[in-house]
Amino acid sequence: MAEELSVALVQEASSLDPAENRDLVTRLADTDALKGARLVVLPEAFARDFGKPGEDISAFAEPQDGPFGTTVEAVGSPERTFVAGMFETAADPDRPFNTLVVRGQATAAYRKIHLYDSFGYRESDRLSAGEWEPVVVDVDGFRLGLMTCYDLRFPELARALVDAGADALVVPAAWVPGRTENEHARKVDHWRTLARARAIENTTYVLACGQAAPRYTGHSLVVDPFGDVIAEAGPEPTVLTATLSRSVIVEARETNPSLANRRTPAG
- Given the residues 12, 44, 88, 123, the one annotated as active site: 44
Beta-bridge partners for 239: 10
CA angle 164, 165, 167 (to 5 degrees): 135
- Is residue 35 annotated as part of the catalytic site, yes or no? no
- Given the residues 12, 62, 88, 112, the one annotated as active site: 112
At position 88, the amino acid (one-letter code) is E
Give yes or no for a contact between 149 and 20, defined as CB atoms under 8 angstroms apart.
no
Say how many C-beta atoms besides its own lie within 10 A of residue 8's C-beta: 24
* Burial category of 267 from C-beta neighbours within 10 Å (exposed 0-12, middle 13-18, buried 19 and up): exposed
- Given the residues 12, 62, 88, 149, the one annotated as active site: 149
- Is residue 149 annotated as part of the catalytic site, yes or no? yes
Give the integer Cα–Cα distance in Å for 234 and 117.
26
- Is residue 73 annotated as part of the catalytic site, yes or no? no
Residues classed as catalytic? 44, 112, 149
